[in-house]
Amino acid sequence: MDGVTTAPFDVARIRQDFPILSQPQARGRPLVFLDSGASAQKPRAVIEAMVRCMETAYANVHRGAYRLSELATDAYEAARAAAARFLNAADAREVVFTRNSTEAINLVAHAWGRGVMQPGQAVLISELEHHANIVPWQMLRDDKGNELRVCRVTDAGELDMEDLASKLADGKVGLVAMAHMSNVLGTVTPVERIVALAHAHGAKVLLDGSQAAVHRRVDVQAIGCDFYCFTGHKLYGPTGIGVLWARLEHLDRMPPFLGGGDMIASVTFERSEWAPPPAKFEAGTPAIVEAVGLHAAIDYVTAIGMPAIEAHERALVDHAMGALSEVPGLTLLGRAQDRGGVFAFAMDAAHPHDLATLLDRAGIAVRAGRHCAEPLHARFGAENGTTRASFGLYTTKEEVDLLARALIEAREFFR
């Protein structure tokens, strides 16, 4: 495929695949993009694949009895097969396309939580969670009365496994829903241990892989979970496309999330019969072009190699821990032993939004706020929020050093 980089890992060469990284910013400064945790930049391979689809092979899928529709359907289903391979799913029918991870979690909360879980069962989450993995379970609790339990996080920002075990001990937890990697602390949770412990107590497991799937190879069969989700726009793909993987036996048991075209086998005014998974959960015209873009993104990172990406980012994390620890007045949230390239920090002399604004004047794009994780910020006494730098496969050690120097200059400015 044109525009796909192959091993060995060469970050300078990879950066050439991303057109936006060569665009000058304010006052002619180069772009230092450190907000990939929110949404990553797109390689030329993704951009060109989507344009090519719209120019040469676009039509609605699954419905047309003409060649163009068949080509579009083949491309759409090829994206599903690529997502299944990416996760090492046993069957492509276990892959449901959603708009994003948020919709995927809501789908499980609606279809599994309301359709399969029993009234006396609880949902167990953790203090690490993004709002997308908190609010749907609060809505389930308020609607159906299912208890919502929260596992503690240690001062280092790691999951408290003793607390997890204690909250599973009574056997009443029906579902454990947790982040594979924190979008604030960068903590990578011990998912195999979580799954084994949950299953031993009769609970199913949903993992939010929005951050982890970008940084590490994910093998749902090896992990052993029941549900896994990630979103395309963080994986160097387009917005508007996400993936929910679920064991086929679970999808068979779950009622539909949305009703309409393409998710039915038949319809009369008296009743409707559902199509088999995954069509049962994909009502209406899907994100066709976006699926093509997701396929290109998966091919892109697969060609580079997830182990190579992980090794690059581990080196970046080690470098950043050293560089940021030397910035006066800077407090890092969390120091987990196993972590990815996400750093949230507070500076004694500046509000997070003011700090982010000043960094932007230096051409450095970071995020400020509570990053859709208010409870986690409250847990660490950072109610005013933090500034967050998050890395992508195109991030360099030189950019980390630029950030550290800019933070030192910013502290002097605010003081």
Residue positions annotated with a catalytic role:
372
3-state DSSP assignment of residue 346? strand
Regarding beta strands 242-246 and 122-126, do their DSSP bridges make them parallel or antiparallel, or are they unpaired?
Answer: unpaired
Helix (H) or strand (E) holding 179: strand 173-179
Report which of 365, 316, 362, 317 is spatially closest to residue 338, judged by C-alpha positions: 317
DSSP readout, 31-64?
PEE-BTTT-----HHHHHHHHHHHHHS---SSS-
DSSP readout, 216-258?
S---HHHH--SEEEEEGGGTTS-SS-EEEEE-HHHHHHSPPSS
d(CA 299, CA 301): 6
Report which of 363, 271, 412 is spatially closest to residue 35, judged by C-alpha positions: 363
Burial of 301 from C-beta contacts in 10 A (0-12 / 13-18 / 19+): buried
Report which of 260, 254, 278 is spatially closest to residue 204, judged by C-alpha positions: 254
Q: Which residue has the tokens 């304010």?
A: 26
Q: What angle do CA 137, 140, 141 make, to 5 degrees?
A: 90
- In this structure, what DSSP letter does residue 285 have? S
